[in-house]
A and B are shown apart, each in its own frame.
Chain A
Amino acid sequence: MTRALVNVPKTAKRGEVIEIRAMIQHVMETGYREGPNGVMIPRHIIKRFVCKYGGEEIFSAELFPAIAANPFLSFSAVASESGTITFEWTDDKGETQTASADITVT
């Protein structure tokens, strides 16, 4: 289980552009580093990140080893309706994790 910190404003006015942030605890091991014993440390990165709002995909990202450890992503969305914003990310071992936050739109 990795930790994630997602940040969505609790409330917004309809039509307002809101900022969404996500930060995920993950080593993002590049696969280009040598361990202390001289052996390459295998790559282990989050490859894909998806954000859905009211069930519809509004943002996604393909990530490569050049994304810093504990990836941070900030993007925006139009506050369209009250509901849940979900986050889903998958690493190269095929492990998928999720987080979510609710927003009230007035």
Chain B
Amino acid sequence: MNSNTTRPTLEQAIRSFTGGKQVIDGRVKFQISPLVENGNAVPVTVEVDSPMTAENHVRRIALFNEKNPQADVAIFHLGPRAGRAKVSTRIRLATSQAVVALAETSDGGFWSSKANVVVTLAACIEDVSQA
């Protein structure tokens, strides 16, 4: 993590996703444990309240973090054929920090939810090799 270039802040990363449009807090349900045993694989589920019809659906769901070396986590593209705007994955958190889930709806609106996660240290930290 000794890169010289500074990463964009969480706010900058969100702005580049939304193109500077207003983001409303709501409609996004963000499931992530507030306290995790290991930051290497943190389960997350994002569910957006949407009928997921051709006229009214979620187009994209994005995840951004506050303190990893890079702000982006993932961008998911979905549409009416998804039936439900719900996505799960597992993410890396280098340290305790905030994570934001954003949804872009077909009418061009942006919705979000933020969570703070405390990452506890494993007892033995083993870096790369076993050698």
Contact = CB atoms under 8 A, between A and B. Distances in A.
Q: Is there a contact between chains A and B in the complex with CB atoms less than 8 Å apart?
A: yes
Interface of A: 17-18, 30, 32-36, 41, 53, 56, 58-69, 71-78, 80
Given A67-B89, A71-B90, A59 B69 contact: no
B116 interface: no
Given A30-B92, A66-B91, A66-B92, 16 more contacts: A17-B83, A35-B129, A58-B82, A61-B75, A61-B77, A62-B74, A63-B74, A65-B68, A65-B69, A66-B63, A71-B90, A73-B87, A73-B88, A75-B82, A75-B87, A77-B82
A65 B45 CA distance: 18
Interface string B75-111: 1111111111011111111000000000000000000
B91 A32 contact: no
A70 B65 CA distance: 20
B95 to A, nearest CB: 12
A75 B91 contact: no
Interface of B: 1, 3, 40-42, 45, 63, 65, 68-70, 72-84, 86-93, 127-129, 131
A68 B81 contact: no
Nearest to A78: B83
B77 A35 contact: no
Nearest to B92: A66
Contact of B75 (A18, A62, A80): A62
Contact of A60 (B1, B77, B88, B127): B77
Nearest to B62: A62
Contacts of A17: 83-84
Given A35-B129, A68-B40, A76 B76 contact: no
